[in-house]
């Protein structure tokens, strides 16, 4: 391999597709991951995550010699930090992966290099990394280009959105912003918007918080409508006929690794000010708990009415429709909670997007619907929309799949 131009630290859900995209443009990329298995898989031209079109992109990039994976960085001109930012304790972000990735590249930095953080980060993280870098390499002070540039791709459509979405690019000074912009311009067709690093950091957090708040509004309506005996789906459809109203859909909670997580990055640093953002998180979490309670009361009502235990189908485990991803899934949480309260009822767990699960015994969706007395729709998967349901079934549709 030629001398790499780009070092990509972190070869996960975002880092690997980004590395592959850069390599597709005939730029030599040295990808780094702490997991030797991941490194081995990628160097064999294979991938360790599920994402459409990524397998081919990686296979070609490795085959042509533009992408190579390793457990350690090497010298390059551009360094991208795309590592996870998890929680320390429940609601406090942990930037130690960003810090250790930065420590790993510090020895290789030279004048005029470009260092970019893409990881979702609390406000001020980029400035902290500036201090860290220059404390270790004081001779480079002011001579590096440092920027924050978040991604905003939707899992399942990453390879398309990486190229076509607009990007926000925030440098620590205008020279850094310009240099980062020129870098992304080589691979991205979407518009590139310049700002400073703090605004770019906040922008990422705000995008996902905004969606969380809007979903919380829909979920709150669903709780009110349940008490008021109003069909929430019909209500929202009608309200959305107003030219300036656009209410999102209620569901069984908010899952995934982004929308249910990023708002805490704001709340933990600004607890007094972020009232709506914090409350939205509580509402969306509460909605999952409420769904599990609703199954419990429906089950008891059935038993009182029919004098026997019901059989129950739980439809869907993924964190959103038509994917196989169960990470931070409210449907999975509800299924777990319902099974914890099981009392000799028969359960059918359904997830058409996966073949098997280590904890849940899965049943085919047609069979489950045929057998169950109570059918609980947790995720609005396509398969469920055309099911024939007989009138003797008790239906709990938490995701509006039947509307």
Q: Is 327 in the site for ligand SAJ (CB under 6 A)?
A: no
- Residue 3 a catalytic site member: no
- Stretch near ligand SAJ under the rule CB under 6 A, chosen from 36-44, 80-88, 207-215, 233-241: 207-215
Q: Is 10 in the site for ligand SAJ (CB under 6 A)?
A: no
Bridge-partner residues for 346, per DSSP?
Answer: 311
The neighbour count for residue 79, using CB atoms within 10 Å, is: 27
As a 3-state breakdown, the chain gives helix, strand, coil percent values, each rounded to 5, of 45, 15, 40
Burial of 137 (0-12, 13-18, 19+ CB in 10 A): middle
Main-chain phi, psi angles of 346, to 5 degrees: -95, 135
By C-beta, is 59 or 192 nearer to ligand SAJ? 192
Distance from C-alpha of 144 to C-alpha of 370, rounded to nearest angstrom: 65
Q: Is 336 in the site for ligand SAJ (CB under 6 A)?
A: no
Set 179, 204, 320, 332: catalytic member: 204
Set 149, 252, 258, 399: catalytic member: 258
Q: Is 154 in the site for ligand SAJ (CB under 6 A)?
A: yes
Per CB under 6 A, contacts with ligand SAJ among 358-387 are none
Is there a contact between 257 and 251 (Cβ–Cβ < 8 Å)? no
Q: Is 320 in the site for ligand SAJ (CB under 6 A)?
A: yes
By C-beta, is 106 or 315 nearer to ligand SAJ? 315
Distance from C-alpha of 199 to C-alpha of 252, rounded to nearest angstrom: 32
Instruction: State the angle between helix axes of 36-43 and 54-63 in degrees (0 to 180), rounded to the nearest 10.
Output: 80
Residue with tokens 């490194």: 39
Is there a contact between 191 and 166 (Cβ–Cβ < 8 Å)? yes
- Residue 185 a catalytic site member: no
Q: Is 400 in the site for ligand SAJ (CB under 6 A)?
A: no
Residues 213-232: x/- map of binding to ligand SAJ (CB under 6 A)? --x-----------------
- Stretch near ligand SAJ under the rule CB under 6 A, chosen from 32-40, 77-85, 151-159, 229-237: 151-159
Q: Is 211 in the site for ligand SAJ (CB under 6 A)?
A: yes
Is there a contact between 182 and 78 (Cβ–Cβ < 8 Å)? no
Residues 229-258: x/- map of binding to ligand SAJ (CB under 6 A)? -------------------xx-x--xxx-x
Catalytic residue IDs: 204, 258
Please give the residue ranges that form the binding site for ligand SAJ (CB under 6 A): 152-155, 207-208, 211, 215, 248-249, 251, 254-256, 258-259, 319-320
């Amino acid at each position: 391999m030629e001398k790499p131009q780009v070092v990509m630290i972190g070869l996960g859900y975002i880092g690997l597709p980004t590395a592959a995209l850069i390599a597709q443009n005939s730029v030599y990329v040295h990808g780094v991951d702490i997991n030797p298995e991941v490194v081995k898989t990628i160097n064999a031209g294979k991938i360790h995550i599920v994402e459409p079109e990524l397998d081919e992109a990686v296979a070609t990039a490795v085959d042509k010699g533009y992408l190579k994976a390793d457990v350690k960085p090497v010298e390059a001109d551009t360094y991208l930090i795309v590592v996870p930012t998890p929680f320390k304790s429940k609601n406090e972000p942990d930037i130690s992966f960003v810090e250790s990735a930065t420590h790993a590249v510090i020895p290789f930095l030279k004048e005029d290099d470009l260092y970019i953080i893409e990881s979702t980060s609390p406000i001020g993280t980029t400035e902290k990394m500036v201090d860290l870098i220059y404390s270790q390499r004081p001779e480079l002070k002011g001579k590096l280009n440092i920027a924050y540039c978040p991604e905003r791709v939707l899992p399942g459509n990453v390879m398309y959105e990486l190229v076509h979405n607009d990007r926000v690019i925030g440098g620590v000074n205008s020279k850094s912003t310009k240099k980062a912009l020129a870098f992304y311009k080589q691979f991205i067709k979407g518009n590139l918007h310049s700002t400073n690093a703090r605004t770019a950091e906040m922008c990422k957090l705000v995008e996902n918080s905004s969606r969380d708040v809007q979903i919380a509004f829909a979920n709150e309506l669903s709780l009110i409508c349940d008490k008021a005996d109003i069909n929430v789906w019909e209500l929202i459809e009608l309200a959305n006929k107003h030219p300036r109203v656009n209410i999102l859909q209620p569901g069984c909670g908010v899952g995934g690794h982004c929308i249910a997580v990023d708002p805490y990055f704001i709340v933990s640093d600004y607890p007094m000010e972020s009232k709506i953002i914090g409350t939205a998180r509580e509402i969306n979490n509460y909605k999952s708990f409420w769904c599990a309670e609703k199954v419990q009361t429906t089950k008891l009502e059935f038993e009182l009415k029919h004098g026997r235990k019901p059989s129950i189908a739980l439809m869907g485990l993924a964190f959103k429709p038509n994917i196989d991803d169960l990470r931070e899934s409210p449907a999975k949480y509800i299924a777990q909670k319902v099974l914890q309260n099981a009392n000799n009822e028969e359960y059918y767990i359904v997830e058409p997007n996966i073949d098997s699960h280590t904890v849940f015994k899965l049943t085919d969706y047609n069979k489950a619907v045929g057998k169950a007395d109570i059918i609980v729709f947790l995720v609005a998967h396509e398969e469920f929309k055309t099911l024939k349901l007989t009138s003797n079934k008790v239906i709990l549709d938490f995701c509006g799949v039947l509307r």
